[in-house]
Amino acid sequence: MIQPDRRRPCRTVPNRSPDWGLDMERDWEHGEPAYSVGPMATSDTVITDELAVEIARLGLVRESSDVATLHRVTQLAARAVTGCAGASSMRWSPASPPEPLAAASSHPDLAELVDLQIEAGHGPIFDAVRVRRPVSCDDTLAETRWPGHVAAMLRRGVRCFITTVHEYEQVLVTLSVYGVVPGALDSRQQALASLLLAQGGAAVSNTRQFDDVHRTAVQLQQAVEARAVVDQAKGILMHALGCDADRAFAELRRISQTRHVKLTAIAQRIVSGRGLAEPFPSPGDDGADG
């Protein structure tokens, strides 16, 4: 069972001072306002400097897998969202209808709840993805929309939840935050959860782009290296056969197609001085370049 959040909301209400741009907080014990440079606020949800830094870091490329990125999002949500005792996050395919591709949860009990929805193919997370809007429940004991899933939540101590959705280009992700006290999560927590999810979605997108760029760079490097070997082999054949570059390349292609071996493998044999007499790998290992 997930444990309740022990944090209490701040008793002071910040107001903006037009003259100095400072946060004015009322001292409730002495009844006098006190001026201080306070933390940022989004939809009445206080974001400290430390939290702002953590949110910014969510967008950095650190991991090579979606699950690792989603795990960072859930861990930060569980720590930062007031009233949240745990969280789960999922990445979905951009297809219609979307299908879950990866998931991460802050607690094993919440991972089980996610698995139940994936197996059933429906539930509050699926509804949020379908309508592309947040889905919430203030009290699971009084909820009637998802009988089976709500019963599973109650057995694990979940009394309220909010699921937010973020979509950017080809990245679709969701973040669900769960509370163990009815009404512990409201629009303020939803705003912060949406902010965390947006940064997490950016991290997933950045990771995908980084992987694409890295893959392209590797392929280009391999192509350059292969071209260099082929050019060397052509030079050797030109000298041995007394022909021009086109004739030498045509001979390489002929040998490649005849033996069903990649042209680069033929070229490597010639350049290394091993010749073509030794047996080549079976056709299943090396295919012809055509």
Over residues 237-259, the mean pLDDT reads 89
Q: What is the pTM of this model?
A: 0.58
Q: For tokens 């999810």, what's the residue?
A: 197
The segment with the largest mean pLDDT, out of 27-31, 197-201, 274-278, is: 197-201
What's the chain's average pLDDT? 77
Higher pLDDT, 255 or 33: 255
**Structure tokens belonging to residue 54:** 């953590």
The predicted structure's pLDDT at residue 52: 64
Residues 6+ away with beta carbon under 8 Å from 264 = 226, 229, 230, 289
Q: For tokens 């509804």, what's the residue?
A: 127
Cis peptide before 182 (omega within 30 of 0): no
pLDDT band of 25, cuts 50, 70, 90: very low
CB contact burial 16-41 (16+ within 10 A = b; e otherwise): eeeeeeebbbeeeeeeeeeeeeeeee
- Is the pLDDT at 41 greater than 70? The verdict is no
- Is the pLDDT at 151 greater than 90? The verdict is yes
**Structure tokens belonging to residue 113:** 């709840």
The predicted structure's pLDDT at residue 174: 95
Q: Which of 91-105, 163-177, 206-220 has the lowest mean pLDDT?
A: 206-220
Residue 227 has phi, psi (to 5 degrees) of -60, -40
Higher pLDDT, 19 or 154: 154
- Is the pLDDT at 8 greater than 60? The verdict is no
The predicted structure's pLDDT at residue 47: 63
The predicted structure's pLDDT at residue 112: 97
DSSP state string for 183-233: T---HHHHHHHHHHHHHHHHHHHHHHHHHHHHHHHHHHHHHHHHHHHHHHH
pLDDT band of 26, cuts 50, 70, 90: very low
The predicted structure's pLDDT at residue 197: 77
The predicted structure's pLDDT at residue 135: 95
pLDDT band of 96, cuts 50, 70, 90: confident
Instruction: Identify the CATH class of 44-211.
Output: alpha beta
The predicted structure's pLDDT at residue 206: 67
- Domain ranges for the chain, please list them: 44-211, 243-290
